[in-house]
C-alpha cells in the first residue's frame, strides 16, 4: 500500500486517483503507524513552505517522514514535497525545512527575464543521468509545473533532471530510495502516469 501523507495541504485527491488509475492501491493518511507500515510513501505539496512545515510539525509527521526515508522504502516528493526535503526555504523566510538534503529553496527572478511567476504550465524535462523511474518516457518529455520557487542542492550530483525557465533549474532529484520532482506527475498525462506506475512498482 502506498501512503500519501496528509498534512492538511496538498493535491491529495488528484495524486490518489492517479495511483489508483495505474493499478497501485494508495491511502491518504496522517497516521505514523500507517506511514511506517506502507510499502511506499508520497509527500505531496501545494501551498507555502512555512505553512506546510508548521502543519507537518503540528500533526507529528516530521519524524515519521525521516524514518520512512531512512528505512529504504521508495519515497516520492512532489512539488512542495521536493522543496520541503531541503535545509531551508526563503518563502516568507528564511524557514527551516526537513533537512533531509542540504540546499536552499529560492524564488525565480522572473521579472528580470520577462517571465511570469509562478512558472505554470507544460515544460520539458531533461535527464542529466540515468533514472529508472523515467524508463519508457521520451527524452525531453513535457511535464506540468506550478511553482514560484526552485531547489538549489549543495550537491549538484543529486540532480536527476533539469528544466529551463529563464535559467536551468533542478526539476527532480534522486538519492538512493528517494526521488522528488518539482513537476506534478499526477497532472502530466501519459508521461506522469508512467512515472507513477514505475514508482509504485519500485522495490
Q: How far apart are CA 142 and CA 163, in angstroms?
A: 10
Any idea which residues carry the catalytic annotation? Answer: 79, 184, 186
**Does a cis peptide bond (omega within 30 degrees of 0) precede residue 94?**
yes
Catalogue the E-assigned strands of the chain: 2-5, 26-29, 40-43, 75-78, 86-89, 95-96, 101-107, 119-124, 126-127, 142-147, 149-153, 159-164, 168-175, 178-181
DSSP β-bridge partners for residue 190: none
**Per-residue pLDDT at 110:** 65
Distance CA 105, CA 108 (A): 10
On the question of pLDDT at 126 being above 70, the answer is: yes
DSSP calls for 130-187: --GGGTTS-TT-EEEEEESEEEEESSGGGEEEEEESSSEEEEEEEETTEEEESSBGGG
| Band of pLDDT at residue 95, cut at 50, 70 and 90 | very high
Domain 2-201 -> CATH class: alpha beta
Read off the C-alpha cell for 120.
505554470
The C-alpha atoms of residue 41 and residue 39 are separated, in whole angstroms, by 7
Model confidence over 18-45: pLDDT tens digits? 999 999 999 999 999 999 999 999 999 8
- Tell me the whole-structure pTM to 2 decimals: 0.95
Residue 86 has pLDDT above 80, yes or no: yes
pLDDT of residue 69: 98
The mean-pLDDT minimum among 48-52, 71-75, 77-81 falls in 48-52
- Write out pLDDT tens, residues 137-189: 999 999 999 999 999 999 999 999 999 998 999 999 999 999 999 999 999 99
Dihedral angle computed from the Cα positions of residues 46, 50, 55 and 61, in that order, rounded to the nearest 10 degrees: 90
Per-residue b or e along 77-94, where b marks 16 or more CB atoms closer than 10 Å to that residue's CB: bbbbbbbbbbbbbebebe
Amino acid at each position: 500500500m502506498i501512503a500519501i501523507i496528509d498534512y492538511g495541504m496538498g493535491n491529495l485527491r488528484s495524486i490518489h486517483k492517479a495511483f489508483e488509475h495505474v493499478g497501485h492501491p494508495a491511502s491518504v493518511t496522517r497516521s505514523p503507524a500507517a506511514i511506517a507500515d506502507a510499502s511506499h510513501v508520497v509527500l505531496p505539496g501545494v501551498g507555502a513552505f512555512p505553512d506546510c512545515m508548521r502543519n507537518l510539525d503540528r500533526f507529528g509527521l516530521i519524524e515519521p517522514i525521516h524514518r520512512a526515508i531512512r528505512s529504504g522504502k521508495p519515497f516520492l516528493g512532489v512539488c512542495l514535497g521536493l522543496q520541503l526535503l531541503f535545509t531551508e526555504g526563503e518563502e516568507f523566510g528564511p524557514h527551516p525545512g526537513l533537512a533531509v538534503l542540504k540546499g536552499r529553496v529560492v524564488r525565480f527572478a522572473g521579472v528580470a527575464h520577462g517571465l511570469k511567476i509562478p512558472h505554470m504550465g507544460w515544460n520539458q524535462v531533461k535527464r542529466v543521468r540515468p533514472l529508472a523511474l523515467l524508463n519508457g518516457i521520451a527524452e525531453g518529455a513535457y511535464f506540468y509545473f506550478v511553482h514560484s520557487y526552485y531547489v538549489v542542492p549543495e550537491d549538484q550530483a543529486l540532480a536527476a533532471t533539469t528544466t529551463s525557465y529563464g535559467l536551468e533549474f533542478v526539476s527532480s532529484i534522486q538519492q538512493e530510495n528517494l526521488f522528488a520532482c518539482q513537476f506534478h506527475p499526477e497532472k502530466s498525462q501519459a508521461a506522469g502516469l508512467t512515472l507513477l506506475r514505475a514508482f509504485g512498482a519500485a522495490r
